[in-house]
């Protein structure tokens, strides 16, 4: 549930009024907003290490899927296949 909440928190983080949010990211493919969202994974990993002695597999795999989603979604959004699907979906509901 925490991973799902972290996945949804990007809209709120994007509205933070800090100048840092508009600076270039040190990680290629990820913006500062995505990096700030990824920082929410750190307390989960710390909790797992303190309570279990190692990160829980769900935390690791879920965190990796969250980061992969961030890396891939903008790249896939520019493909012809996605644009064709999105155009079809818009015409369907119009």
**pLDDT tens digit sequence for 49-67:** 999 999 999 999 999 999 9
What does pTM read for this prediction?
A: 0.78
Secondary element (H or E) of residue 90:
helix 80-93
Quick one: pLDDT at residue 42?
96
Q: In this model, does residue 27 exceed pLDDT 90?
A: no
Q: Are 32 and 40 in contact (CB under 8 A)?
A: no
- State the pLDDT confidence band at 81, using cuts at 50, 70 and 90: very high
Give the CA angle between residues 11, 86, 75 to the nearest 5°: 60
pLDDT above 70 coverage of the chain, percent: 100
Cα–Cα dist 89/94, whole Å = 9
């Amino acid at each position: 549930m925490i991973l799902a909440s972290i996945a949804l928190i990007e809209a709120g983080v994007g509205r933070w009024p800090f100048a840092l949010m508009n600076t270039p990211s040190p990680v290629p493919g990820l913006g500062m907003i995505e990096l700030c969202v990824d920082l929410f994974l750190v307390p989960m990993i710390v909790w797992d290490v303190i309570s279990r002695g190692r990160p829980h597999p769900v935390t690791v795999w879920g965190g990796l899927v969250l980061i992969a989603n961030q890396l891939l979604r903008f790249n896939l959004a520019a493909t012809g296949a996605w644009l064709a699907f999105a155009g079809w979906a818009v015409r369907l509901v119009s």
